[in-house]
Amino acid sequence: MASIPPTAARKKIKRSVSSPADVLRLVGQFFEAVYQVFVNIIDFLMHPLQNRLGVRGMAYVFVLPNLLIFGVFILLPMLLNFYYAFTGSTNLYPADRPFVGLENLSRLFSCGNFLDPNTCEVDVFWRAVSNTGGYVIFQVTTMILMSLISALALNRKLAGQGFFRSVFFYPVLLSPVVVALIWKWILQQDGLLNALVVSLGQERVGFLLSPQWAQFWVVVISVWAQMGFYTLILLAGLQAIPSELYEAASIDGASQTQSFWRITLPLLMPTMFVVIVLSLIRAVQVFDQVFALTGGGPGTATTYMVQYIYDVGLASQTNQYGIASAASLVMAFFLLLLTAVQLRLGRNSEIT
């Protein structure tokens, strides 16, 4: 700065006010100055603390707010959940709840035949479990397949790649309620899809009124809303495969199909496993989209485990907190299992 002659400097200052970019720079400088003042105030206030605790001790200060929120709103509820599962009555306040041991769990598990929910004492829970099982199987397989095809298509070196990638990702950003409403509008009695059905000479279908159709559409819609996310991860996995391998393979006379089965797929496997486990964990927790779309109906056709917990524990007036928490435990067990698998895979393949 010192080397600039005074006249040039003055010219610069004159110009700086006229162009919008320089106005922005001035605003930036202003905020930087404000930030400096802020830093100095914090520094001044925190100095005595550091003098007392030492440099090491400050680490606890930094980690404290996060730990506090985390402990109170995540860790504590996790522990409380056990307490609720093993105590009875309809009181929410922990001290008012008598210990009942395994009663909640055994009620949940008292079934004549686990494959037939009607023989169970808490039949809705087992219907929710079997609904969730069906959903998980169909949703995850369809979604992984679609994501893989899309990722392979997006990985080809074609023009407009960035655009298509964004397009496939866009629905991921929509909220569950918005997704549900978009599709409810299409699937309703007088909706777009029924117009298509009628134009093909068929009778109108109550897509959200028949149990099978509702279950089908719940899967389709969640694939629509989520596949972009997994497509991106798989795409990143595909792009990490070194292109030299393909070149070497083509020199050796391998066809495209051969290099897909022998190179692409095996090298994509670690990413694939991560994607499968992530999507499984998410599928087990299916709730909000479906809740906004069908409310769990018709009947209990689309009532899944989380909705069961929500209905029994919070939404209904029966206040069966014990049963809801016991159901939570069952679900947490499944999720923990999946997480353990994922952490293990992550350690083995060093991909997380």
Partner 1 sequence: MRTVLNYLTNTRGRKRLHFTDWLTYLYLLMGTAMMFGPVIWLVMSSFKPQSEILRFPPRFLPYRQETVIVEGYDTPLQLFDVVLEDGTTRRLAQVRRVGIEAQLIDPANPEEIFRVNIADRTPVESVYFGLENYQEGVESFNFWTYLRNSVVVTIAATVVTLLVNSMAAFALSKYQFRGRDTILFVTIATLMVPLSVILVPVFLVISEVGWTNNLLGVIIPGAATPTGVFLLRQYMLTIPDELLDSARIDGASEWRIYLQIILPLARPALAVLTIFSVMWRWNDFLWPLVVLSRSELFTLQVGLNSFQGELNIQWNYILAMTVLTLLPITVVFAFLQRYITTGIATTGMK
Of residues 209 through 238, those in contact with partner 1 by CB under 8 A are 224, 228-229, 232-233, 235-236
For partner 1, give the closer residue by CB, 118 or 164: 164
DSSP 208-228: TTSHHHHHHHHHHHHHHHHHH
Closest approach of partner 1 to the CB of residue 78, in Å: 6
C-beta of 170 vs 261, nearer to partner 1: 170
Residues 211 and 231: their CA atoms lie apart, in Å, by 30
Tell me how many residues contact partner 1 (CB under 8 A).
107
Residue of 114, 170, 216, 261 that binds partner 1 (CB under 8 A): 170
351 and 343 Cβ atoms separated by less than 8 Å: no
Q: Which is nearer to partner 1, 207 or 224 (CB)?
A: 224
Residue 265 binds to partner 1 (criterion: CB under 8 A) = no
Taking the CB of residue 63, how many other CB atoms lie within 10 A of it?
11
As measured in angstroms, the least distance from the Cβ of 209 to partner 1 is 14
Q: Per-residue contact track with partner 1, 51 to 80, x per CB under 8 A?
A: ----xx-xxx-xx-xxx-xx-xxxxxxx-x
Among 125, 126, 138, 168, binds partner 1 (CB under 8 A): 168
Tokens 């068929």 belong to which residue?
202
Residue 128 buriedness (CB in 10 A; 0-12 / 13-18 / 19+): buried
- Report the distance separating Cα 192 and Cα 340, nearest Å: 44
Which token pair is 121? 């004492």
Contact positions with partner 1 (CB under 8 A) in 301-320: 306, 309-310, 313-314
- Joined tokens for residue 273: 């496993």
CB closer to partner 1 out of 111 and 153: 153
Binding residue for partner 1, selected from 124, 184, 267, 298, defined by CB under 8 A: 184
Q: Nearest to residue 262, comparing CAs of 246, 275, 251, 247?
A: 246
Number of Cβ within 10 Å of residue 276's Cβ equals: 19
Q: How far is the CB of 309 from partner 1 (least distance, A)?
A: 6
* Residue from 100, 111, 124, 172 binding partner 1 (CB under 8 A): 172
